[in-house]
């Protein structure tokens, strides 16, 4: 797994948070998120009860927690806010669902959720009600790919959105077997066996 940009941390972090909610049947607390971040290779820089700062060579992560929601801001260590991502994690009482959204800081380029759809998990059954496209990033022969498993691809295919890039939202994906390329953002998407 590589992390050069905020998006490269946001997607695998969101995937881990989704797995936690389904497995533990609750929202993660700040300590759980801190553990996930260190597992993903970030180091603690500042810890407080409601605030934590993590860093790696390429990104800074700010975790803000309250009783009702968690907000995670991921910023490029260069300070360039145009690449920044924000994760919002909360229980939507109207939908009676747990929601995890990845929203770009620069909404001028892309409006909506990164990963095509937000994570929506039913609060009673803990079944996934949406089809998010999440995975991790790998570099191969000079190209960077979002790597997803076959089950994620099948759900994505059922949603009829496989022509939309899960990274930038553009309707620019060009598929060749189980690999796609986006002309808009330059990332690739690769489907691998589970």
Local confidence band at 74 (pLDDT 50, 70, 90 cut-offs): very high
Are β-strands 97-104 and 119-122 bridged in parallel, bridged antiparallel, or unpaired? antiparallel
More confident of the two residues 59 and 104: 59
Between CA 33 and CA 38 the distance in angstroms is 9
CB contact at 8 A, 168 and 110: yes
Q: Token digits for 20?
A: 């936690």
**In whole angstroms, how far apart are CA 44 and each of 48, 49, 65, 122, 182?**
11, 13, 16, 32, 34
Are β-strands 85-92 and 69-76 bridged in parallel, bridged antiparallel, or unpaired? antiparallel
For 103-149, what is each residue's pLDDT tens digit? 887 665 555 678 889 999 999 999 999 999 999 999 998 899 999 99
Domain segments of the chain as ranges: 6-122, 136-192
Q: What is the mean pLDDT of residues 180-188?
A: 91
Between CA 143 and CA 45 the distance in angstroms is 31
Between CA 44 and CA 79 the distance in angstroms is 18
pLDDT of 152 higher than 90: yes
For 1-26, what is each residue's pLDDT tens digit? 788 899 999 999 999 999 999 999 99
- pTM of the entire structure? 0.91
């Amino acid at each position: 797994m590589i992390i050069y940009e905020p998006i490269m941390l946001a997607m695998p972090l969101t995937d881990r948070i989704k797995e936690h909610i389904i497995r533990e049947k609750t929202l993660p607390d700040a300590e759980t998120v801190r553990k996930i971040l260190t597992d993903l290779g970030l180091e603690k820089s500042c810890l407080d009860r409601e605030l934590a700062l993590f860093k790696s060579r390429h990104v800074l992560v700010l975790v803000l927690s309250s009783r009702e929601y968690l907000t995670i801001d991921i910023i490029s260590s260069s300070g360039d806010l145009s690449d920044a991502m924000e994760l919002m994690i909360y229980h939507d009482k109207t939908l009676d669902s747990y929601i995890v959204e990845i929203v770009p800081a620069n909404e001028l380029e892309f409006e909506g959720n990164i990963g095509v759809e937000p994570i929506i998990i039913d609060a009673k059954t803990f079944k996934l009600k949406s089809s998010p496209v999440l995975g991790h990033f790998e570099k191969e022969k000079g190209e960077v790919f979002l790597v997803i498993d076959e089950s994620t691809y099948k759900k994505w295919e059922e949603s009829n959105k496989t022509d939309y890039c899960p990274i930038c939202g553009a309707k620019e994906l060009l598929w060749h077997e189980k690999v796609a390329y986006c002309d808009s953002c330059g990332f690739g998407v690769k489907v691998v066996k589970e």
